[in-house]
Amino acid sequence: MGCTGWVDIPRYGAGMGAALGFGIGVAATTIAAVLGAADHPEFGLVLLAVPVALVAACTNVPGAVLAAVQCWGLWAGFLLGRRGEIPMTAESGRALVVLVAVALLAGVAVSASRAAHLVSARPPRGRAAGPSPVRS
């Protein structure tokens, strides 16, 4: 008997993680810009941390890191900088570290949650997994 719910969702590879990160990152960057994050880049960074965490939950570590780097590029290029020019500043470096940390922590949290669910779903040791045969 397998697990039910979100723990049965497969973890995708790095290519899918990168694709998801880019697509969701573009949408989040657009929403952040409409909400005024170009004037408040910290707000935009928080908004872009959400898709990074979501992608990290459904992909492997390389895919999560690729998504974080892509979201950082979108944040630095369009919310911190302008017209896609990425400013290489201390602020942009810290933002990269923050987004990669969010990706790694979200990936570890989801992996730990899945492992805990799988362990708790196993039958206790020493007991039969099914009904015992009828003795005559």
pLDDT for 115 equals: 73
pLDDT (tens digit, 9 = 90+) per residue, 90-101? 888 999 999 999
Whole-number pLDDT of residue 28: 93
So what's the pLDDT on residue 6? 55
Three-class secondary structure assignment of the chain: CCCCHHHHCCCECHHHHHHHHHHHHHHHHHHHHHCCCCCCHHHHHHHHHHHHHHHHHHECHHHHHHHHHHHHHHHHHHHHCCCCCCCCCHHHHHHHHHHHHHHHHHHHHHHHHHHHHHHHHCCCCCCCCCCCCCCC
Are 62 and 17 within 8 A, CB to CB? Answer: yes
Question: pLDDT 10s per residue in the chain (136 long)?
Answer: 343 455 566 778 888 989 999 999 999 999 999 998 888 888 999 999 999 999 998 888 899 999 999 999 999 998 888 787 788 888 889 999 999 999 999 988 887 777 776 667 665 565 555 666 666 5
The pLDDT score that the predictor gives to residue 14 is: 87
Cα distance between residue 96 and residue 92, in whole Å: 6
Site of tokens 């969701």: 24
Burial of 66 (0-12, 13-18, 19+ CB in 10 A): buried
The pTM (predicted TM-score) of the whole model is: 0.77
Would you list the domain boundaries of the chain? 11-121
